[in-house]
A and B are shown apart, each in its own frame.
Chain A
Amino acid sequence: MSMARLERRAAMATLLSDRGEDLLVVPGLGSTCWDLAAAGDNDRNFYLWGAMGGAAMIGLGLALAQPAKRVAVITGDGEMLMGLGSLATIGIQKPPNLAVIVFDNGVYGETGMQPSHTQARDLGGVDLLKVAAGCGIEPCLDVQDQAGLDGLAGRLKSLNGTLFARVLIEAVDPPRVLPERDGVVLKRRFRAAIGL
């Protein structure tokens, strides 16, 4: 059984449409970082060019520090797998303003499409929804089609609890859209954008 998976650039654009000034976004390194840049540059994006496995924890620190703003971590399955423990840590903290969204295509797109642990999910591969649920995160949303994506985009507009979502996307490697890569610049412009 194969179902048409979502296209990653369109999925990112849907999630960030009318994002508002209080949505802060942290992607993972690699493909989700390019997806975020492709959706339109924004000072409230903190692009990652490294720190693999750290995206969700950056999101946690940010969400705790800025309770009046919404924080979306939008990362890939490979990046999330490197930081699985952070789901356990987030499950304990449960800030009401944090969404961890994983674009899951079952491959490491940045390095040549090698299979990740989530690829053979139906055959015993890793199910990130079950991992997140097992860490006490609720809700854990399984997003497989446009209706699900629209629903997730709606929930992002007004978070009222830590949310986890897995978005099944196609295993394709669209052209890179490269954002600013000077970390100090990214940090300063982000802080300035939220009045720090």
Chain B
Amino acid sequence: MSAPVIDWPDRLYDTFKRAGIRQVGYVPDAGHARLIDRCRADPEIRDVVLTTEEEGVALAAGAWLGGERAALLMQSSGLGNCINMLSLARSCRFPLLMLITMRGEWEEFNPWQEPMGSIVEPVLKLCEAEIFRARKPDEVEGLAERAVQTVFGDERIAALVLSQELIGKKVWTK
């Protein structure tokens, strides 16, 4: 049996295009690699590689001040780097769309991923972010659409949380 083709990152790219996303901030992440490649190849999207995820929260705020829509890609560990900067989005009701790939919750080899991975959803709740959790490939696009509506329709923070099962098991031996 051949492995199923993973196409949900392409559906996320399609969602970005429909939503008019013009700036995408990211810290490189294997789970987002395909989506990052699609964004980098698109001349209508400014891809902004970040040194830390909190930069992306500020980038998205600046984009909105200037009339553009942004998205922020990160892995679960990156959410921890954002917490104080999320005050900016909350205090000013900046729209903030976060796409978070999960680590530390399924077939994880690296135990250091578990502490932050295990508190992603509680942290998001405490920060008053709307959570859209995708566990299966066929629900990713629909949930992404709802996250987009929440963010830009209501000027709120929302996170599309992509379960580790979607991304697959990281291969540690080469």
* A186-B66 contact given A50-B87, A86-B55, A89-B55, CB 8 Å threshold: no
Residues of A within 8 A of B3 (CB): none
Residues of A within 8 A of B22 (CB): 65
Residues of B within 8 A of A49 (CB): 91
Q: Are B62 and A62 in contact (CB under 8 A)?
A: yes
Residues of A within 8 A of B62 (CB): 26, 57-65
Query: Smallest CB-CB separation from A50: which chain B residue?
Result: B87
Q: Are B23 and A58 in contact (CB under 8 A)?
A: no
Q: Is the interface of A mostly helix, strand, loop or mixed?
A: helix
Query: Smallest CB-CB separation from A92: which chain B residue?
Result: B49
* A54-B58 contact given A46-B65, A66-B67, CB 8 Å threshold: yes
- A85: interface (CB < 8 Å): yes
Chain A nearest CB: distance from B76 CB in Å?
20
Residues of A within 8 A of B93 (CB): 183-184, 187
A interface, size bucket: 35 or more
Q: In the complex, A70 Cα to B135 Cα: how many Å?
A: 44
- A191: interface (CB < 8 Å): yes
* A64-B46 contact given A187-B93, A187-B94, CB 8 Å threshold: yes
Residues of B within 8 A of A51 (CB): 58, 61, 84-85, 87-88
Residues of A within 8 A of B65 (CB): 24, 46, 58, 61-62, 65, 187, 190-191
Q: In the complex, A196 Cα to B59 Cα: how many Å?
A: 18
Q: Are A60 and B48 in contact (CB under 8 A)?
A: yes
Residues of A within 8 A of B50 (CB): 85, 89
Query: Smallest CB-CB separation from B55: which chain A residue?
Result: A57
Q: In the complex, A190 Cα to B92 Cα: how many Å?
A: 12
Interface residues of chain B, those whose CB is within 8 Å of chain A, are 22-23, 46, 48-52, 54-68, 70, 84-85, 87-88, 91-94
